[in-house]
Amino acid sequence: MKNDERIESQINKLEEKYKNSGQDLSSYLDGLLYQRYLTYWDYIHLDTLLSLQVPRTHFPDEEIFIMYHQITELYFKLIIHEQKQIVEDRSQDLRFFIEKANRINNYFKALISSFSIMIKGMEREQFLRYRMALLPASGFQSAQYRMIEIYATPLENLVHHTERDDFSSKDGVEELFEHIYWKKGATDRDTGEKTLTLKQFEIRYTPRLLRIANQVKDSTIYQKYLQLPEASRNNNELIKALKELDMNANVNWPLMHMGSAYRYLAKENQEIDATGGTNWKQFLPPSFQKIIFFPTLYSENELDTWGKQWVDHIFNPANKQYKEKEQD
């Protein structure tokens, strides 16, 4: 097809498109004629993006802290973007499921590997000073991470492990949500009172999280997996991808947080409270929480030893390799 014929064909297709929607093609062509060429910086709103780092103190490393968390939240958004596609898909296409799970794992791998920026990329003395200007804000208040959990598995799998046997899918969303594990991480151990960090978070995000939980009540990623034909459920590639997702979200990611917390908040036999008042030594260890998105994929032994990787983790202060790195 010659170029003139191709252009004429495209115009005819555009006329048909706008005619069917009751629009005038000529007006749209005028708009195309007058509009400016798109630039990279306008397309990604670069100037706006680079203006969002607003430190509250004069310590240089605070800007690193802000940017790292903003980047993390963008990765969380990418993960949710893929999760929604799995949740909303009705085709039961095995390759589609595997591809989306692998994408999520790639995003988690990028997050996990980048955490050394938090662990080794800031001066501890600066951190311990500027963090006081952030009270009572806390990474605990990341609503997107709570969304990732809700999209991944039914709420009964997110109930605190000490109460999990008392609940099932027969319980209502609101009741299950009230007993979700992370609430205990921001509750005063002595009085049982919720911290201000948790109260703020609940006021801001509880309606939204409950809405999502109701939307995916029977269609979380785990339930989508269970609804697949038997041959697809037994596919080794899919099982591997889902178990890797579980490990990344519920073991490797919390362990990196543990490493960061120990570096900044527990040194020289002194334990420092987290900014949000969270019980980080009880909240972060995956072996304590035993959050597992896809429990039927594991043996009894795997379930019993879930999260025990901290013993040999490179950022565990009790680990010889950690002590050697600290001396470097």
Domain-located, residue 52: no
Domain-located, residue 16: yes
Task: Measure the CA dihedral 270/313/222/158, to 10°.
Answer: -20
> In terms of domains, do 134 and 272 share one?
yes
The CATH number linked to 279 is: 1.20.58
Domain-located, residue 56: no
Contact 259, 119 (CB under 8 A): yes
> In terms of domains, do 166 and 285 share one?
yes
Domain-located, residue 42: no
Domain-located, residue 51: no
* Structure confidence by residue, pLDDT tens digits, 101-152: 999 999 999 999 998 888 888 998 998 899 889 888 888 899 999 999 999 9
> In terms of domains, do 140 and 238 share one?
yes
* Structure confidence by residue, pLDDT tens digits, 25-70: 888 888 888 888 899 999 999 999 999 999 999 999 999 999 999 9
Contact 274, 280 (CB under 8 A): yes
Who has greater pLDDT, 262 or 275? 262
At 291 the pLDDT is 94
At 89 the pLDDT is 97
CA distance 183 to 159: 10
| pLDDT average, residue stretch 187-191 | 79
CA distance 305 to 31: 62
> In terms of domains, do 10 and 135 share one?
no
What is the number of structural domains in the chain?
A: 2
> In terms of domains, do 25 and 135 share one?
no
> In terms of domains, do 29 and 88 share one?
no
Domain-located, residue 50: no
At 25 the pLDDT is 86
Instruction: Quote the mean pLDDT of the chain.
Output: 87
Total residue count of the chain as it appears in this document:
328
Domain-located, residue 58: no
> In terms of domains, do 136 and 22 share one?
no
Q: Where are the beta strands (DSSP E) in the chain?
A: 266-267, 270-271
Question: Which own/partner pairs from 92-99 qualify as long-range (CB within 8 Å, at least 24 positions apart)?
Answer: 92/227, 92/228, 92/229, 92/232, 94/228, 94/232, 94/235, 94/238, 97/224, 97/225, 97/228, 97/232, 97/238, 98/235, 98/237, 98/238, 98/241
Give φ, ψ of 58 to 5 degrees: -95, 0
Who has greater pLDDT, 72 or 131? 72
> In terms of domains, do 23 and 67 share one?
no
> In terms of domains, do 175 and 304 share one?
yes
Contact 292, 307 (CB under 8 A): no
| pLDDT average, residue stretch 164-171 | 93
Give φ, ψ of 290 to 5 degrees: 50, 50
> In terms of domains, do 295 and 156 share one?
yes
> In terms of domains, do 316 and 211 share one?
yes
Q: Is the pLDDT of residue 266 over 70?
A: no
Q: Is the pLDDT of residue 269 over 90?
A: no
Q: Is the pLDDT of residue 272 over 60?
A: no
> In terms of domains, do 116 and 256 share one?
yes
Q: Is the pLDDT of residue 317 over 70?
A: no
At 318 the pLDDT is 52
Range of the domain at 23: 3-35
How sure is the predictor about 314, in pLDDT bands with cuts at 50, 70 and 90? very low
